[in-house]
Amino acid sequence: MPMPDLPNPSLDALELLFAHPLWPRAGMVLRLLFHAGFAWLMFRFGRQIRREAKPPANGYWPNALTLIGGVFFGVLALRQADWQLMGQRNEKFLAFMQRYDRREFNPAHRFRAGRITDRKGRTLAGSRVTEGGIRRVYPYGPVFSHVIGYNHPIYGMTGLEAAGRTRLMRGSLRTRGDLAHLGAALLDREGHTEGPALTSTLDVDLQLTAHTLLEGRRGSVVLMDVRTGDLLALVSRPEFDPNRLHPRLFSGQTEGSPLLNRSLAGLYPPGSVFKVLVAAAALNGGFTGTLDTPADGFTTAPANPKIRDHDYYIARQAGREWRGHGRIGLAEALAKSSNVFFAQLGIRTGAGALTDAMDAAGMLSRFSISERPEATLSQGPARVTALSDARPYGIAQFSIGQGDLLVSPLHIAMITAAVARGGETVFPRIDSAQPVRTGGRLCSEEHAAALRWMLRRAVTEGTGRGAVMPEISVAGKTGTAQTGAGRESHSWFTGFAPSEDPRWAFAVIVEHGGYGSRAAVPVARQLLQTGVAEGWLVP
């Protein structure tokens, strides 16, 4: 149907009226008038209906139908009130609005996230009210970039910022304080109400020290309290500044993937530090004796390249002949980090026992470090090909921490912590309000005690001699993980201190740092020295 267009001139007079300085006030009055007038009309409407002749009383069923309809209208209004007026009670709804809603007038944005502090109450992340709204600020900048993460309107949330989000915003109504908070937020649509602070288990001094020690390197430091699983420092480098996020960071083209949280998401071959787990599994399986370690190395079949000790290669490089360690026990094998010994030990222990040990250490499934499973701060499983007794060479490689095995620094720290605290795994925690959570048992108390003594010997007499210091007795195991041809190996060191009554467990990795004793041990050593100087560790 063809139709002439309606005339469409612009309404200049109305625009002038709305531009008048007094108009906003008039608009407020009109808004009230709309609601009041509507209410008045509804009142009159109801009266008019009643005034029109009353229907005859013909049975109960029309009344029942009307009642059902009326109840349904009531349900709609109540449900709407639940969303529209009490929406902030629903944690997921609040999180959804804060993440996806662009309306700046949405009161959801006025719930200012609480501070995240370290264990001594120093602010690691806080909210600052600026002209453009609320901005998260990170006083320590890049130092806590991965573990605290960031909360940015464009780039989203990561780390503890994401995992602790709901608590920081007080999205729930569990206590009387929460109710008072809700009341204040409802009444004060302009003001900002700040959520409660979240006290993390981290410590600024230790984190700063660890961060500085890795300056210019790529790698990670994990430091945890073995009794509670408290993460005291969780450093990953290279890092970024959460106060200055820029698009190039997220383009995937930045050198060294600074966004990657290497402590949790880094996947590395563990090398010799993995022998701690193999030793624990072997002790648990009842191993006591000695094994022969021929200088020429060990293999399961002629087709497989021989697994040899490190000393063999050193001697060959120097043009010397090496006679091998001979027949040695577990303690000496750990101290000398004998690959030949551990390859045989792993095969003797068996695929089942080794898999059980990994499971007990929490390496086979994802677990959350912060309470909420939907949030991002969690540790994924280690990447490992299923072990089988039918493929002994695979077990042999696994037992020296090479082959199809990739773990995160946190995994290694957890193994060490389990040994240090008597064989039982403790899950790391970062939110001090969370309960301490223990996991499976890696080995018995006696075996753990024996292993602690052996690891102490590995420091005093073995590859970890660089960690010997007058202040405190350290026990630990170095690792040198080969990363393919032409590149320096990854440098590992894991251990605990004090060795007789362990309080701290740590894992340090320096990517392509060479020998474990060269790059990783000094980092751990200085970290422990800081701990002693700050009064954390009593020798």
Partner 1 sequence: MSAAKAKGAKRKPTGGGKGAGRSAKPRTQEAPKPVFFFLGIVGLVTVAQVLVLSARAGEGRPLMMMDIWPYLFWLVSSAAVAVALKAARWRGSGALLAGIFLLSGLGVVVRSRMSGMSPGVTDMHVLIQPAGFALLFGAWFCFRRGRVELLRPFWGLSLLLMLGLAAGMLVLGARYRGGLYAPGGLTPTEILKLFAVLGLAGFFSRPNADWEGRGVFRPPLGDTFFLLVIWGSLAGMLVLHRDFGLFLLLSATALVMLMCATCRLSWGVAALAAMAGGVWAVLRYFAHGARRFEAFLDPFSDPTGSGWQVLQGLTGMYAGGLMGMGLGAGRPERLPIASSDFVYAVYAEDAGFVGSVLLLILFARIFRSGVRITRRQEEDFARLLGAGLVASLAVQTLVNIGGVVNVLPITGIPLPYISQGGSSYWVTSLHFGLLLALSDRAR
Site for partner 1 in 182-201 (CB under 8 A): 189
State the CB neighbour count (10 A cutoff) for residue 116: 29
Backbone φ and ψ of 247, nearest 5°: -60, -30
Closest CA relative to residue 223, chosen from 238, 204, 242:
204
Task: Report in angstroms how near the CB of residue 47 gets to partner 1 at its nearest.
Answer: 9
Using rule CB under 8 A, residue 169 touches partner 1: no
Task: Report in angstroms how near the CB of residue 12 gets to partner 1 at its nearest.
Answer: 8
Q: Which residues within the stretch 234-273 sit at the binding site for partner 1 (CB under 8 A)?
A: none
Task: Report in angstroms how near the CB of residue 134 gets to partner 1 at its nearest.
Answer: 16
Using rule CB under 8 A, residue 155 touches partner 1: no
Using rule CB under 8 A, residue 313 touches partner 1: no
Contacts of 336 (CB under 8 A, 6+ apart): 309, 311, 325, 328, 462, 463
Q: With respect to partner 1, which residue has the nearer C-beta, 69 or 121?
A: 69
Using rule CB under 8 A, residue 105 touches partner 1: yes
Residues 43-72, one symbol each (x = binds partner 1 by CB under 8 A, - = not), give: -xxx-xx-xxxxxx-xx-xx-xxx--xx-x
Using rule CB under 8 A, residue 100 touches partner 1: yes
Closest CA relative to residue 235, chosen from 254, 253, 213, 268:
213
Q: How far apart are CA 166 and CA 179, in angstroms?
A: 15
Q: By CB under 8 A, name the one of 21, 22, 35, 216 that touches partner 1.
A: 35
Task: Report in angstroms how near the CB of residue 407 gets to partner 1 at its nearest.
Answer: 33
Contacts of 537 (CB under 8 A, 6+ apart): 472, 497, 498, 503, 504, 528, 531
Tokens of 75: 């349900």
Q: How far apart are CA 508 and CA 481, in angstroms?
A: 13
Task: Report in angstroms how near the CB of residue 125 gets to partner 1 at its nearest.
Answer: 24
| Number of chain positions touching partner 1 (CB under 8 A) | 72
Region of 39-47, 270-278, 458-466, 521-529 interacting with partner 1 (CB under 8 A):
39-47
Contacts of 536 (CB under 8 A, 6+ apart): 206, 503, 504
Tokens of 300: 């399961």
Q: With respect to partner 1, which residue has the nearer C-beta, 54 or 248?
A: 54
Q: With respect to partner 1, which residue has the nearer C-beta, 93 or 250?
A: 93
Closest CA relative to residue 429, chosen from 368, 372, 374:
368
Q: With respect to partner 1, which residue has the nearer C-beta, 95 or 363?
A: 95
Using rule CB under 8 A, residue 76 touches partner 1: yes
Task: Report in angstroms how near the CB of residue 32 gets to partner 1 at its nearest.
Answer: 8
Task: Report in angstroms how near the CB of residue 24 gets to partner 1 at its nearest.
Answer: 9
Q: With respect to partner 1, which residue has the nearer C-beta, 59 or 486?
A: 59
Q: With respect to partner 1, which residue has the nearer C-beta, 86 or 180?
A: 86
Q: With respect to partner 1, which residue has the nearer C-beta, 23 or 313?
A: 23
Q: With respect to partner 1, which residue has the nearer C-beta, 81 or 364?
A: 81
Using rule CB under 8 A, residue 539 touches partner 1: no
Q: With respect to partner 1, which residue has the nearer C-beta, 4 or 305?
A: 4
Q: Which residues within the stretch 460-499 sit at the binding site for partner 1 (CB under 8 A)?
A: none
How are beta strands 133-137 and 123-130 bridged, if at all?
antiparallel
Whether the CB-CB separation of 365 and 413 falls below 8 Å is answered with: no
Whether the CB-CB separation of 273 and 492 falls below 8 Å is answered with: yes
Using rule CB under 8 A, residue 133 touches partner 1: no
Q: Which residues within the stretch 3-22 sit at the binding site for partner 1 (CB under 8 A)?
A: 3, 5-11, 14-15, 18-19
- Residue found by looking up tokens 């639940």 in the block: 82
Q: With respect to partner 1, which residue has the nearer C-beta, 24 or 247?
A: 24
Instruction: Report helix, strand or coil for 7.
Output: coil
Strands (E), 98-186: 111-112, 116-117, 123-130, 133-137, 151-152, 156-157
The amino acid sitting at 178 is D
Region of 99-107, 361-369, 394-402, 522-530 interacting with partner 1 (CB under 8 A):
99-107
Q: How far apart are CA 505 and CA 518, in angstroms?
A: 20
